[in-house]
Structure 1
Amino acid sequence: MNQLVPLTIALPLVCAALLAAVGQHVPRLVPDVLAIACAAAVTAMSLTLTLRASDRTIVYWFGDWHPVQDGFPWGIGFVVDPLAAAEATLASVTVLAALVFSWGHFESIRHLFYSLMLAFLAGMVGFVLSGDLFNIFVFLELMSVAAYALSGYHVRRPEVLQGALDFAVLNTIGTLTLLMGIGVLYGRTGNLNLVGIGAALAQDHPPGLLVLALTLVTVGFLVKAGTAPFHFWLTDAYTVATAPAAAIFTAVMSDLAFDVYSRVHATVFAPTLGTGDAVRHALLALALLSALLGAVMCFLEADLKRQLAFMTVSNGGIVLAGLATLTDTGLAGSIMYIVTAGLLRGALMLCLGMLIVRLGSSDEMVLHGKGRTGHALLALLLALCAVGLAAPPGFGPFISLTLVYDALTTTGYAWTAPLLALCVALSAGATLRAIARIFLGWGPAHDPSLTSQETKPHRLSGRHRLWPLTAPLLLTLLAYFLAFVPDLPAHAIKAAAELHDHAAHARLVTEGITPPSISLPEHTISLRDWFYGLISLVGAFLAAATGLWWQRLPLRVKGPLRICARPSIIALKTVHSGSIGDYTTWLIAATATLALTWTVTL
């Protein structure tokens, strides 16, 4: 069974190289079938590893080079715990759905596109399974380079070139920041294995070095995650990428950084820092900034792809809020939310690809009323995705959000839970508003508060088939009904508890000693959590109605409302200027602020 671990990386890399070498010399059907078969095989292997890891975390040492000198981890190893394996499964499922959608939907997709997608898949799987910092960096670079090429796939268009350039420059700064943090840790400990670094730092407490390393590593991961104020590249890249690539970006790529950061923090820094308030407060502040800024900007966009990009920022804030609690329940809720909300966002992006081909745009004002006839199935699927992202009680992301709310409440941040529920409502409400405007013709065709990207629809070449929608449909159904998997929250909390047991986890990695089995914790949904779910669901529909008909308000109400809101709206839109120089300045300023905060408080 352990031999499946390297195969999840090797298989897509070999297929990617094969397609790049001979793809242009074989019939068109061969690259399609090979890419889809490869993604399906990786999905099956990742799912098998997830089920196997639920009983016992799998530690795989490449070359069978086990730690030898007093348990010092010299070799290169993958640590396949249930949470990491679940993220690998999410990546492979999303890539499989994107490839199936591409095959039936785009006529111009060529073998190099498939090669990039498979290399991207290998990078993502290796990124979440790696057990040492340097290989995390290596797979992050593989994932990033493939993503840069995918975002600029139609590079002849100026806006695509600009978006891909923003993506590449800012993410390169982030990865170099992470590399500097890795260098600091390696120079101090002489080790790259996560457990080895954590053990060395626990024996020696260098406060200045610890603050520097923690800041650099945190910023490196948060840039990749698109956490505000490191998020500016994200909206530009997601908007210009083709729908299949953008679906992977929004469903998996950004949120994987949160998962890996949680493991790095729990294994490297937590044994020394413990669960102090300094780290928790800083991360929670960034989480709330992301959730609020992303939700508000999502509501101010008319283009659905940009809406989804800002929704990713907002949802990422909720993930970071769960991680910031530094509790088992918070980590479990965040990882579950990554999976369920990611599936829905990926499905939504694929549907937007169909919308663009059929109607020529993804801008709700440009398409006002143009989807009234002949697009019922697409409208229904878009609505299912939007409602699912509103976390309806009992379905989809709701269970994961209850874990995040519970963790925030038990750590003394109960006031943030309803705030996050409102952010969920606002971002989902923006999508519901756009669906109503496009497919029902509701609301005015012009809204001065929204930022529109286009002036008229432009049809793209593509086949108007309906069967490619089976890919987003299956992603949507999977997201909705994961909530009914027996004891899923309890298994997630148990996996998080095993990761947070530093001594037992270190013995497992370095000595192969399996820790005693932990009984499944009980998890019940409180009445408070049901109420928060109702807030997010009902609030989404109220937000959509407000966005559609706020211009009908009496002038005595609308006037003061405009006066109060206009300066803030202008400021938010001005900050998102599209200039790499401005975005880099924000990144540097935020890094300095975070470093100063932890220097004073740690």
Structure 2
Amino acid sequence: MILQIAVGLPFLVATLLAGTGRWLPRVAVDALATLTVAALIVLLGVVLASGGTTVWLGGWHEGVGIALEASPLSLGLALTVAAVALASLIVSWRYFAEVQAIFHALMLLFTGAMCAFVLTGDLFDAFVFFELMSVVAYALTGYKSEEPDTVHGALNFGIVNSLGAYFTLTGIALVYARTGQLGFTAIGKSLVRDDALVTLAFAFICTGFLVKAAAVPFHFWLADAHAVAPTPVCMLFSGVMVELGVFAVLRTYVLSFAHAIPASEVRTALLVFGSAAALLGGVMCVLQRHIKRLLAYSTISHVGLLLVGVGLLDKDALAGAATYFLGHAGVKAALFAGAGLLLNRFETVDEHDLHGRGRSMPVAGTIFLLGGLGLAGLPPYGTWAGKAVMEEAGGWWLTALAVTASALTAGAVLRVWLRVFRGAGTGSSADSGAREEAETRFKLSRLPWTMVAPGAVLALAGVLVGLLPGEVVGHAVASYTHLEGPAPTPWSSSGVLSGVLAVVLAFGVAVVSLRGRVPRAARLHRLHSGHIGDYVAWLVAGVAAFGVLLFT
């Protein structure tokens, strides 16, 4: 009963706020939304403490019923979603010149849909919550709809992700036609042999999830959406939403297709797509000066590393990926909170415009420094712990890939820290970025604690995740994938060395790019044209490429 209440609570309160919020004072709306998410965390924590459970809604069991499967892994993901949502709502207390209760209702719907998405045991039900999550995300991206750039970013987001969802729905239809089942486990019991239809169905289902995960070449929408979405929304987008796409691919294969499609075929496809995202995202990150776009491309790169860890389909690599998810959620949400501090203090997030202006913001500067070190994977960050375990499972090539991607993305963030908060390098140039409208009622001379504290706490949480005992994460993964074995540990000489090396290289990238010695890579910029037709063409090409890799 507790699990049903936890899943339904955000939707119930969101409905109440949508209907009655216009008559409530702002402080009451803020308090109600925040307390709802806090209650969600408590309820999920109670279920986790009890060891997890499986609930069949309406008393209907396997074959016709819909299950909520609260395993330690899915509960851990849901708790991470709720924790980042709580921080986002606290940040939003002083945001926006004008805000109505519909924003809080959308945030609760978004949080509830993501939690239900990871907890449901039914494939079609997962698609329903996936679409609810997406539709709410489109609305949140375009919340400031009076600005043309905002509408453009939201439309790109909506069109690309909707097309991906159509592919997923087509795959679900093929699976249902073959098996007559929609539950993840029930499908897995029915699919016992590989054929073209089963492989095609898996490719279609995963396409929509990979679009949400912003895997290359499905990634184009992400930077456009992050550049215009409100800062509290970006914290959820990059902190948890895109990573759930990777989890969905893992769940679909492990629970439903593992007996029908050889692991070697799936491994090849996921490793290729993940590696491409890790490298391209890292390079594009270094080339940015718009801080929110910079952070968006770093998300693409690190989700690529997460996809590689999942794609190995190895027990230790999956445990490392789970730790990496937790650590990255804290670090990336903290960095977007820091970007919001800059936007609302100086009405710009252009790195060159902000040259030296962050000296009076020590907390924001600390967030960027800690965030950069976290992206590099400095021990004992959660990103380092997860990456070290994945590298041990993947071998030298994964170590090289992870160090490269981490150094590029962390170097870009550390460059922002050096230029904005330490006054290094050069400042504004002739092609200075355009001014942006602050999200607060007035330009802030002092930042309220509600904007500062969540980012600081999230940055600290990114460090503490790395100190989690390996047995905890290993048990959660084993209970979900049924892959047993000793708990992995990141504290090896090679793991520590790769983390330190990535930090050193990151500072090198920061210094070199600070001096303007990075090539412009105009061809890469032209690929990210902002034209929806180009993005759709790349989506179709990506679907074809994923299918070819699965069939070869």
Q: Indicate the TM-score class for this superposition, using the shorter chain for normalisation.
A: over 0.9
Deviation at 1:339, TM superposition (A): 1.3
Partners of 1:118 and 1:522 in 2: how far apart? 36
Question: Aligned match of 1:35 in 26, 33, 52?
Answer: 33
Rate the CA distance shift 1:365–1:270 in 2: closer, same or farther, 3 A.
same
Q: Which residue of 2 aligns with 1:254?
A: 242
Say yes or no: does 1:305 pair with 2:292: yes
Unpaired runs of 5+ residues, structure 1, are 68-72, 503-517, 552-561
Deviation at 1:446, TM superposition (A): 5.5
Deviation at 1:391, TM superposition (A): 1.2
Partners of 1:524 and 1:116 in 2: how far apart? 39
Say yes or no: does 1:577 pair with 2:517: no
Question: What is the identity, as a one-letter code, of the residue corresponding to 2:448?
Answer: L
Q: Which residue of 2 aligns with 1:454?
A: 433
Rate the CA distance shift 1:30–1:290 in 2: closer, same or farther, 3 A.
same
- Counterparts of 1:350-499 in structure 2, within 5 Å, are 350-372=337-359, 374-409=360-395, 414-445=396-427, 454-456=433-435, 461-462=441-442, 463=444, 464-468=446-450, 469-485=452-468, 487=469, 489-499=470-480
Question: Alpha-carbon deviations, 1:58-98, whole Å to 9, x = none?
Answer: 2111112233xxxxx32100111111111101110111101
Question: Aligned match of 2:119 in 121, 129, 133?
Answer: 129
Rate the CA distance shift 1:437–1:522 in 2: closer, same or farther, 3 A.
closer
Question: Alpha-carbon deviations, 1:399-443, whole Å to 9, x = none?
Answer: 11111112212xxxx212122112111101101101211122211
Rate the CA distance shift 1:106–1:457 in 2: closer, same or farther, 3 A.
closer
Unpaired runs of 5+ residues, structure 2, are none
Identity of aligned residues (%): 34
- Counterparts of 1:34-433 in structure 2, within 5 Å, are 34-53=32-51, 57-67=52-62, 73-202=63-192, 205-275=193-263, 277-372=264-359, 374-409=360-395, 414-433=396-415
Rate the CA distance shift 1:539–1:188 in 2: closer, same or farther, 3 A.
same
Q: Secondary structure at the match of 2:515?
A: helix
Rate the CA distance shift 1:459–1:191 in 2: closer, same or farther, 3 A.
closer
Computed over aligned residues only, the root mean square deviation of the Cα atoms, in angstroms, reads 1.8
| Preserved CA contact (<8 Å) 1:302 1:453 | no
> Could you tell which deviates more after superposition, 570-579 or 476-485?
476-485
Number of residue equivalences: 548
Deviation at 1:380, TM superposition (A): 1.7
Deviation at 1:453, TM superposition (A): 7.7
Partners of 1:435 and 1:457 in 2: how far apart? 20
Partners of 2:382 and 2:490 in 1: how far apart? 17
- TM-score (norm. length: structure 1): 0.88
Q: Secondary structure at the match of 2:259?
A: helix
Deviation at 1:550, TM superposition (A): 4.5
Question: Aligned match of 1:532 in 492, 498, 501?
Answer: 498
Q: Secondary structure at the match of 2:301?
A: helix
Q: Secondary structure at the match of 1:78?
A: strand
Question: What is the identity, as a one-letter code, of the residue corresponding to 1:299?
Answer: V
Question: What is the identity, as a one-letter code, of the residue corresponding to 1:529?
Answer: G
Q: Secondary structure at the match of 2:68?
A: strand
Question: Alpha-carbon deviations, 1:146-192, whole Å to 9, x = none?
Answer: 11100000001000000000000000001111110100000100000
Partners of 2:163 and 2:75 in 1: how far apart? 28
Rate the CA distance shift 1:185–1:459 in 2: closer, same or farther, 3 A.
closer
| Preserved CA contact (<8 Å) 1:361 1:367 | yes
Question: What is the identity, as a one-letter code, of the residue corresponding to 1:445?
Answer: G
> Could you tell which deviates more after superposition, 571-580 or 384-393?
384-393
Deviation at 1:137, TM superposition (A): 0.4
Rate the CA distance shift 1:120–1:394 in 2: closer, same or farther, 3 A.
same
Question: What is the identity, as a one-letter code, of the residue corresponding to 1:579?
Answer: H
Partners of 1:260 and 1:83 in 2: how far apart? 12
| Preserved CA contact (<8 Å) 2:326 2:465 | no
Question: What is the identity, as a one-letter code, of the residue corresponding to 2:106?
Answer: L
Partners of 1:50 and 1:108 in 2: how far apart? 38
Q: Secondary structure at the match of 2:191?
A: helix
